[in-house]
Structure 1
């Protein structure tokens, strides 16, 4: 039986560079806007609204800095949930899903196709 080596998986499925860029932007924002807890815990800054603005700006420009901002705003909403927010693991039947077809779905489709 093959053991799953999570370190090997994370070498290709996770980006430390992305995290480092996000951290740098968090530090920059601290000095530009103040403490995240003071901005997001109170709802003075709408993390999801800001996330959507950054996603739109990425789609307009292609500048991946905005994707780092999207992730940071998602993180802030996670750190400072608003009324009604909660975390619960979901099964596949409750997944939001993906747009497109995954490699695993294509492989399964190919295996089950009649020739």
Structure 2
């Protein structure tokens, strides 16, 4: 099997844009730990707002913001009983569409 070309499979720029916005937000809105751990800001609902704004405007900055809200939910879960467990494809949430890997190539 071929090795992935990570320049095509992963975006370092996306990560840098996310980090830049987290640093700016710290000064603008205060510490993420307080805002999310203390449930002052709802990470999942704010993520949803960002996705809706992206669909409306097509400005990919909203995708960067949405990803940060998912990261904050991961770091400071607001859902009671939230946990991380690595899963295999049998437990996958699934995808919409058919990935090329499913074609048996």
Unaligned stretches of 5+ residues in structure 1: none
Q: Secondary structure at the match of 2:5?
A: helix
> Comparing 80-89 with 45-54, which one deviates more in the overlay?
80-89
Give 4+ residue runs of structure 1 displaced > 4 Å after superposition. none
TM alignment of 1:12-31, pairs within 5 A = 12-31=8-27
Q: Give the root-mean-square deviation of aligned CA atoms.
A: 1.7
2:93 pairs, out of 86, 92, 96, with 96
Tell me the residue number matched to 1:45: 41
TM alignment of 1:64-79, pairs within 5 A = 64-79=60-75
Q: How many residues align?
A: 104
Q: If you compute each CA radius of gyration, which structure gives the higher value, 1 or 2? A: 1
Deviation of the 1:10 alpha carbon = 2.0
Deviation of the 1:12 alpha carbon = 1.6
Deviation of the 1:73 alpha carbon = 0.3
TM-score between the two structures when normalised by the length of structure 2: 0.90
Q: Which structure exhibits the higher relative contact order, with contacts defined as CA atoms closer than 8 Å and separated by 6 or more residues?
A: 2
TM-score between the two structures when normalised by the length of structure 1: 0.83
Deviation of the 1:9 alpha carbon = 3.3
